[in-house]
Amino acid sequence: MVKKIFLNTFIISMVAIILSSVVFLGAYYNKIEKQMQAALETKTKLVEEGIRYAGIDFFKNINVSHDVHVTWRDKTGKILYDNIEYSDNMFEKTIYCDRTLPDGSIIRVASIYGSMQNLLFSMIHPMLVVLTILAIILYIVSNYIAKAIVAPINEIDLESGKIDDINGYEEIKPLLSRIRRQNIMIETNIREIKRQNAKRESFRRNFTAGVSHELKTPLTSISGISEMLANGLIKPEDVQEFGESINKETARLINLVNDIILISKLETDEIKVEREEVNLSELIANVVDRLGHIAGKRNISLTTDIKAKPVISGSYKMLEDMVYNLGDNALKYNFDGGNVNFILEQENQKVRIIVEDTGIGIPDEDKKSIFERFYRVDKGRSRDVGGTGLGLSIVKHIAIYHNGKVEVCDRDGGGTRMIVTINT
C-alpha cells in the first residue's frame, strides 16, 4: 500500500510539473513573439520615414542590425534595395512587416529570431537540472506522505474496537465496524464450539462412568452366584432360585446394553430412520396389548381414552419404544390393583400422548432430573423392578427427534402423568 501511494503521488506530481512547465513556456514564447512583432512594426515605420526623407541614400547612412532585413520594391515589383537572407532553419523563424509608400513602392522589414524549438532546445539543460532536483524532492516527500498515510491505519487496534481514535479516517470507519462485528461473531462461534466440545466431553465421561457402574452390579451378582455354584456351595434345592437370579441379572444386562446402544445413537444423532405414516391410535393399542401380560400379573387395569386419531410422520419403531417405556414405567412404579390410562388427543398442529398412572408418583424436586441418564428417584426400587435408568432419557430423545417434547406432572388423585407433545 505504501508503495502504491508513493508511486501515485510521485507520478502525478511529476506529470503536473512537466505539463505546467510546457504551458508556461508556450505562454512565454507567445508573449515574446507579440513583443517582437510590435518592435518590427516600429522599425518598419522608422525605415519608411528614412526613405521618405533620404530615399535610397537612407540605407547608406544606417547600420541595419544583422537580424533585421529590409527589402524595398517599386510598384512594378523591381527590387530597389535588399539585404534579406531567408531562413528555413527549424530553429529560426522569420516575421515580416510591409508598408506601402505614397509612390506605390513597398518596404518589407523582416526579423529572424529563435523558433519555439530553439527556445525548448536551449531550455533543455536547465529544465533537466530543475526536473532532477524536483524529482529527488518529490521522491522524499512522496515517500514520507505515503508512510504518514498508512501508519495510523497499521496502528488501529481492531480488538479494542476504539475506532473513534482514528481521526482523519472517517471513510474507513464503516469497514472497521464490519471487521469488528465479524471478530465478535468469530469469537462467539469459537466460544460456542468450545462450550459444545466441553459439554460433549463431560457427557462422554459421565456416560462411561454411568455405564461401567450399571454393568458392575449385575456382573458382580452373576459372578458371585456362579462361583458358589462351581464350589458346590449351593444346596441342590436352592439351585433353581439362584438360577432364576442369574437369569434376571442377565436379562437386565441385555436390557441395559440395548438401551445404551440406542441412547448413544440418539445422543450423537447417528440414527437416520426412514419416516413413515404412523397411526398413533393403532400404535397405542399395540403397546397396551404388549403390556397386558405384565399388568395382568399385578392386577393393574390398562385403559385408553382416544380423543383423536392422528396419523403423523415418524418412525413407528421409535414411537412404539417411547410409548412402551412410558407404559412400562407406569406399571413398574404402580401399586398392585392400580390403573394405567393412555390418552391420545389433538389440538391444531399439536398431538398429545398422555400416560397416567395411579402409582407412587414423583417428588417435585426429582421431576426436573428424571429425564437425565441413569437418574433414579429410588435406586433400590428401580433395580428391583429391572430398570436401567435410561428409559426416560430415551423417551426424551425420541420426542425431540419427532419435533416434540416430554413433560411430567402429578396425576389428580395421586400418581404420575407423562405428557408427550408432538408438533406435526
Q: Under the rule (CB under 6 A), what is the footprint of ligand ADP?
A: 329-330, 333, 357, 359-362, 370, 375-378, 382, 387-393, 416
Contact 82, 74 (CB under 8 A): no
Q: How far is residue 68's CA from residue 41's CA, in Å, rounded to a whole number?
A: 12
**Cα distance from N-terminal residue to C-terminal residue, the chain:** 58
CB nearer to ligand ADP: pick between 316 and 333? 333
180 or 376: CB nearest ligand ADP: 376
Least spacing, CB of residue 418 vs ligand ADP, in Å: 7
CB of 172 to ligand ADP, least distance (A): 59
Residue 29: partners with Cβ closer than 8 Å, 6 or more residues away: 116, 119
Write down the least CB distance from residue 318 to ligand ADP, Å.
16
Which three three-digit cell numbers place residue 362?
414423583
Beta-carbon-side half-sphere exposure of residue 36 (alpha carbons within 13 Å): 19
Sign of torsion over alpha carbons 53, 58, 61, 66: positive
Which of 370, 358, 270 has the alpha carbon at shortest distance from 325? 370
Q: Give 352-389 as a DSSP string.
A: EEEEEESSS---HHHHTTTTSTT--SSHHHHHHTT--S
Cell 512547465 locates to 21
CB-wise, 51 or 331, nearer to ligand ADP? 331
Residue 115 contacts residue 91 (beta carbons within 8 Å): yes
**Which residues partner with 122 through β-bridges?**
none
Identity of the residue, 80 or 377, whose beta carbon is nearer to ligand ADP in the bound complex: 377
CB-nearer residue toward ligand ADP: 110 or 390: 390
Cα 122–chain centre separation: 63
Instruction: Decide whether 44 or 416 has the Cβ nearer to ligand ADP.
Output: 416
Return the half-sphere exposure (C-beta side, CA atoms, 13 A cut-off) of residue 72.
15
Spell 221-252 as b/e; 16+ CB within 10 A means b.
Answer: bbeebeeeeeeeeeeeeeeeebeeeeeebeeb
CB of 332 to ligand ADP, least distance (A): 6
Q: Which is nearer to ligand ADP, 115 or 329 (CB)?
A: 329
339 vs 382, beta carbon nearer ligand ADP: 382
CB of 378 to ligand ADP, least distance (A): 6
By C-beta, is 110 or 256 nearer to ligand ADP? 256
In 3D space, the residue among 112, 64, 59, 61 whose CA is nearest the CA of residue 81 turns out to be: 59
For 350, the 3-state DSSP assignment is: strand
- For ligand ADP, the closer of residues 310 and 361 by Cβ is 361
Minimum distance of ligand ADP from residue 335's CB (angstroms): 11
The one-character DSSP state at 237 is G
CB of 397 to ligand ADP, least distance (A): 11
From the CB of 331, what's the least distance to ligand ADP, in Å?
8
Closest distance between ligand ADP and the C-beta of residue 189, in Å? 34
Q: Is the dihedral of CA 405, 406, 410, 414 positive or negative?
A: positive
> Which CB sits closer to ligand ADP, 111 or 358?
358
CA–CA distance, 177 with 156 (Å, rounded to integer): 12
Report the nearest approach of ligand ADP to the CB of residue 251 (Å).
Answer: 13
